Amino acid sequence: MSDFSDGFLWGAATSAYQTEGSFDVDGRGRSVWEDFADRPGAIEGGGDASVACDSYRRWPEDIALLEQLNLGAYRFSLAWSRIMPEGTGAVEQRGLDHYERIVDALLERGITPVVTLNHWDMPSALMACGGWAARRTVDAFAEYADTAAERLGDRVPWWITQNEPWIIQLLGYQLGLHAPGVRDLGAALAAGHHLLLAHGAATDAMRTHTTGRIGAALNLLPCIPASSDPADVEAARGSDGYVNRWFLEPLLGRGYPPDMRAHWERALGRNLDEVIRDGDESRIAGRSDFLAVNYYTHRVMQAAPIGPDRPFPWQVVADPSAARTDEGTEIVPESLTELLLRLHHDYPGVPLMITENGAIYGDSPTHDGRVHDVRRIRYLRMHLQAVRDALAQGAPVVGYMHWSLLDNFEWALGYRPRFGLVYVDYRTGDRIVKDSARYYAEIVRAGHLVEWDHKRPIGQVVDSLGAFG
């Protein structure tokens, strides 16, 4: 008996900037991440993504990997700078041609394309007016979305407008740790709002070109109190407003939550009417056919005093009981079940697609030329068990995209972290399928969680899949 429905989408995910390279090919414009990478110390190790996985040239190999792994879906992003090098105006047809070839190749192999429009790589030219902190970027994004959907809308059944608006808001405009490297709380608020407003504007523009489902991808982090102290409970509620509800509620028709709006107004010392204008919330609402969920961990919250570097009265503390990835991320698969059930209960009828879930483990090829990433196998199984448990309790989960198909350029952390099901040798570009990918392929083929005994050599589980690259 299958643990998952017959139509369940099994896939893996990547993004354009993290994998493509080939910055100077086919008329591509510059993105904010090139500008950011040029800053001394901005990228760990001093690298950039000018080569990355070389997927702009090697994309047929990547699609072949998907096919070998039995995967029926591929989440990837279009590079805005390849289609509109200046962010608006002139369209570069060679960029559209490239993505059209990818979509057609996927469909020929029975692989469903799940296409993201903005995976953080905004064209640099738009920073002249403030980037996402400027309202006019909403119109630029809608123009880009309209152009992409006009070309590809008849073949792409799933569209994601924005990837992780909270991360863009927080790391890009509040803390300056990601591109464009702005450190301004007011700009962060505006950026987050404009990302949601652009989702609404893009969806409206795309509707004439596609019957595909359109949604946005949120990185949702269940927030739990560090203790039963009422102050910690309130801190967890506040953090949930900051990270989750501030984006969920307007997208799914309820408007910005009043409690978090009050936190923002206190932190900024003014009301939000200049940024969140009359009618904006109605332009965001009712424009999500599904919710894309990126899940990695939870947040354990403790009350803390407001200060110069803490605009809100809470802080994240460690969970001493949790296992961790090589990057220190706490591993809590049970929180994924709880999150999916919460979304099901709070927003009934909204289909849920897990569009990112994965872990950083630094395993590399051993003497036999293979990557025996046993910890990723364990991580994958635990999180798929969590999805299965949520499905059994009625959560409408329609698919799971593992992050990532490939090891890639991990933004400000450079090339050290490895998220991939497939190992990439950055010197040669060669791909090596990890044992976790082989195990995932076995699950997909079976349609349920196959047994895996951690005491048994991994080869006994996966050798039946045959030889991979």
Average pLDDT for residues 268-277, to the nearest whole number?
A: 98
**What's the whole-number average pLDDT of the chain?**
96
Max distance between CA atoms of the chain, in angstroms, equals: 63
Confidence of residue 452 (pLDDT cuts 50, 70, 90): low
Give the type of residue at 357: N
Quick check: 1 pLDDT over 90? Answer: no
Quick check: 469 pLDDT over 60? Answer: no
What gap in Å lies between CA 307 and CA 294, rounded to an integer? 30
State the helix-helix crossing angle for 258-268 and 185-206, rounded to 10 degrees: 140
Average pLDDT for residues 70-82, to the nearest whole number?
A: 98
Confidence of residue 451 (pLDDT cuts 50, 70, 90): confident
State the helix-helix crossing angle for 374-392 and 333-346, rounded to 10 degrees: 30
User: For a pLDDT cut of 70, what percent of the chain falls above it?
Assistant: 96
Average pLDDT for residues 245-257, to the nearest whole number?
A: 98
Confidence of residue 435 (pLDDT cuts 50, 70, 90): very high
Partners of 10 in beta bridges: 400
Q: CA neighbours within 13 Å on the CB side: how many for 4?
A: 21
Average pLDDT for residues 311-327, to the nearest whole number?
A: 97
Quick check: 119 pLDDT over 80? Answer: yes
Average pLDDT for residues 411-424, to the nearest whole number?
A: 98
Quick check: 9 pLDDT over 60? Answer: yes
The pLDDT assigned to 320 comes to: 94
What gap in Å lies between CA 407 and CA 54, rounded to an integer? 12
Q: Report how far apart, in Å, the C-alpha atoms of 95 and of each of 151, 198, 429 are.
A: 11, 22, 22
Question: Catalytic site residues?
Answer: 164, 356
pTM over 0.85: yes
Can you list the domains of the chain with their CATH numbers?
9-465 (3.20.20.80)
Average pLDDT for residues 187-206, to the nearest whole number?
A: 98
Please give the DSSP secondary-structure letter assigned to residue 29.
P
The pLDDT assigned to 459 comes to: 47
CB 468, CB 407: distance < 8 Å: no
Q: Answer with the residue of higher pLDDT: 464 or 223.
A: 223
Q: Report how far apart, in Å, the C-alpha atoms of 282 and of each of 11, 188, 208 are.
A: 33, 21, 20
Q: Which long-range contacts (CB under 8 A, 24 or more apart) does 47-51 make?
A: 47/409, 47/414, 47/415, 48/409, 49/17, 49/18, 49/20, 49/21, 49/23, 49/409, 50/21, 50/23, 51/21, 51/426, 51/429
Quick check: 98 pLDDT over 70? Answer: yes
Q: Establish whether the linkage from the previous residue to 180 is cis, with ω within 30° of 0.
A: yes
The pLDDT assigned to 3 comes to: 84
What gap in Å lies between CA 357 and CA 375, rounded to an integer? 14
The pLDDT assigned to 216 comes to: 99
